[in-house]
Every structure is written in C-alpha cells, then in structure tokens.
Amino acid sequence: MINWIKGLLVGALLLPFSFENGEDIRYFQQSTIPLTDSTDVIVSSIYDSLSNQDIYQVKTSTGTPVHYYIELQEGVCFENECRPLNILIYWNITGRYLGFELVDGEFLSKFDHEPFSPKEYEELDQLLADPFLPLGNYTFEDLVKRPDTVSQSLDGVSGATMKDVLEYIVPGAAYTTHKLWNVIHGPIQQEVIRMTERNLDSSLLNKILQSRDQSDQTWALERIAQLSDLDDSVVESLVRILLEGEHFQAYLLLKSLSIKQLESEHLQLHLFSLIGKVDFSIENMIFDKLVEAPQLHGSVVDASIPILTALSGSQLGKLLKLYSHHEVKNPEFNQALKQMVPIENSFIERQVLKFLDKQAETSD
C-alpha cells in the first residue's frame, strides 16, 4: 500500500498534474509537502463518525503529514438508473482540494453513459479546486428540474439544470459535479484541517509558509497564535511575507501574532528592522503591534538610536508614542534626540521636546 501511494504521488504533487492510461485516471493540484523517491511514508486510517467515513492520513516516517484521502464508494443514480462511483479523493494538509484518482478501470460518465473526455476531467478538476462555487447552496434536486416523462437518465441532467449554476458543473454530469464538490468542501475537509492542526508545530508551520499556493500561506498565518513560541526559521518566513507579500497577508500576519509571542526579543527586533522598508500602512501596523507587547526589549531601543536622523517626522512621532507607552528610559536615546533639535517640522519638534521633558520629570 505504501509503495503504491509513493508510486502514485512522487512528482505528481509538485505541480498541477494529470495522467490517464488504460486503467488509471489521476488529476492533482500542487501539494504543500511534496514526496520524493527517498521519502518513507506511513498510511493510517482515522474513522470520522460525523461523515461515517474512514479518512486516510499519509505522513512521513518523521511524522510530518503529507496529505489525506478517502475512498468514496456509492451509486450515481437518477430516474431509477444507477452505476457505481468508486473514486479516491485527496486533500492537502491545509484542507484544500488536492486531486482525485480513478483506478482499476474506473471512469466517470455522463447521463448518457458516455465516459468523460480528458477535457471534461480537466474541467471537473478545476471546478473541484474552487472553494467559492455556489454548489453548497443547492441540493441536487434544486439543480435539476425533473421532466414530465423519463427520457434521459443517468447523472441528473435529464431535466434543465438551473441557469445560474450551469457554468459550475460539467455538462451532462450535474450529480457527479455536485456530489464531489460537496464531499470535498464539506465536513471531511474540516476534519482534515483539525487533524493537521493537532500536528502543527514550528517546523510544519514554516513548511506551509513556504508553499507557493497563497491559500496555504493564508491558512498558516491564521494559525500563528496556536504556537506559543516562534523559532528563528518561522520569524524569517514572517519577515519575508511582510516584505514581499500582499497587504492582506501582512495585515493577517500582524493581527494573528499573540501577546505571548510578542514577548520574544528576536521577534521584536525583526519587526522593528522593517521600519522604513515596508509601506506606510504596514509600518503603522508594526508600531501598533509593538505597543501590544508586554514589554519592549532594550535592544529595540538600542537599534533605533543609529537610525533616528533617517526617520521621517511621522516615523519619529510613532516611535516616541511607542516608547512613551512602554515608559522607555534610555539616556543614550535621549541624548541622540537632543542632538536632533532644532527640527524643521515644528510639530515633531514639539513632540520631541515633550518626550524629553517627561523623561526629565520622571528621572528626578
């Protein structure tokens, strides 16, 4: 079983992939954790009582989850005609759809018993990969209007399919498209996510942050707070995302950091090092996040002294607000501030003088 799994997925999960021969039909999206020829894998079965279904977890010999799959077996029926549907459905470790496989001569067919063409398999693969389709809002009966007389039968396009969802189904295969999409994006998906969350540590989180799939990165960013501490590799990945990622990802990252994690001197220093390197809105969020820290490490204040004269008026104002909040008292910083006066921006100069006056009062 293990060798069969490896033979199937080695290389296939590195990029979107499809393969058909006389017996097997396989379509896969990109996997977060790729398999290699040297990867030892373990397959274990977990019974999910909610879906009344065995979920198979594939993980490396070191315990890193790779993906999950189920063996879906049921009849595809409409108008009292049925044919068995035996298909393997795969999920990535983040819960997104990974692919499907039909083995031992299995195939998908449409209402007229005609097998899917390669183009239709590709279309199905693309539809199943889209979590935002409205197919979860309709029952199969909603999709199909039954005709007065039985004419065509299998797979549920014997009647007129709702015009609103025609673009979301493979023509002639309404039932199959609807059924598979709802299995993939239903309760089993949530159980898959829970299983990965139970295995989540800094190493796995960092692997997911390295994914080329943006939804994987978003998944990881939403769960940063589940880790009590962030190791150096994770912090470096977070810095990369703040520098290179989209604004939403930066917002989500900073929003997700916990108070406990903000105690880290290493994290504080890396966040502060981004001042002047990221855009204005992200910079503001970094200042706001450092305000939330239980305490500000002295090394952050030390790091700010050499760059004081390079800060803009807005940056300097936010820095003083941050230090006032944490009641920072650093003679070297105060001396560097004094040397900046007079300041061309009178508003900022007043803020600097106010900060220095308060420092003098508290030191008396």
- Measured distance CA(289)–CA(342) in Å, rounded: 30
pLDDT band at 219 (very low <50, low <70, confident <90, very high): very high
Q: Residues 238, 240, 241, CA angle at the centre, nearest 5°?
A: 65
List the beta bridge partners of residue 228. none
Instruction: Quickly state the pLDDT bin for 76 (edges 50, 70, 90).
Output: low
Confidence check: pLDDT of 143 > 90: no
Predicted local distance difference test score (pLDDT) of residue 237: 95
Structure confidence by residue, pLDDT tens digits, 90-140: 999 999 999 999 998 889 988 777 899 999 999 999 999 999 998 888 777
Q: How many Cβ atoms are within 10 Å of 164's Cβ, its own excluded?
A: 11
Contacts 24+ apart (CB under 8 A), 113-121: 113/83, 113/154, 114/172, 116/170, 116/173, 118/18, 118/20, 120/170, 120/171, 120/173, 121/18, 121/20, 121/25, 121/27
Structure tokens at 280: 């204005």
Span of 67-76, 215-224, 226-235 with lowest mean pLDDT: 67-76
pTM exceeds 0.85: no
CATH architecture of 202-363: Alpha Horseshoe (1.25)
Residue 90: per-residue pLDDT = 97
Bridge partners for 144 per DSSP = 161
Q: Is a pLDDT exceeding 60 seen at residue 204?
A: yes
pLDDT at 41 over 80: no
pLDDT at site 343: 86
More confident residue, 84 or 145: 84
pLDDT for position 260: 95
Distance CA 106, CA 69 (A): 17
Tens-digit pLDDT profile for residues 341-359:
888 888 888 989 999 988 8
**pLDDT at position 359:** 86
Helix (H), strand (E) at residue 28? strand 25-28
Q: For the chain, give the mean pLDDT.
A: 85
Find out whether the peptide bond into 118 is cis, omega within 30 degrees of 0.
Answer: no
* pLDDT number for residue 81: 65
Helix (H) or strand (E) holding 235: helix 232-244
How many angstroms separate the CA atoms of 205 and 219, rounded? Answer: 10
Q: Which of 56-60, 74-78, 298-302 has the lowest mean pLDDT?
A: 74-78
For range 198-217, the mean pLDDT: 94
Q: Which of 13-17, 21-25, 62-66, 97-101 has the lowest mean pLDDT?
A: 13-17
DSSP H/E element including 208: helix 202-209
Whether residue 28 has pLDDT greater than 60:
yes
What's the gap between Cα 317 and its chain centre?
35
Planar angle of CA 128, 133, 138, nearest 5 degrees: 105
The residue-averaged pLDDT of 55-76 equals: 88
- Domain residue ranges in the chain: 2-189, 202-363
Give yes or no for a contact between 337 and 352, defined as CB atoms under 8 angstroms apart: yes
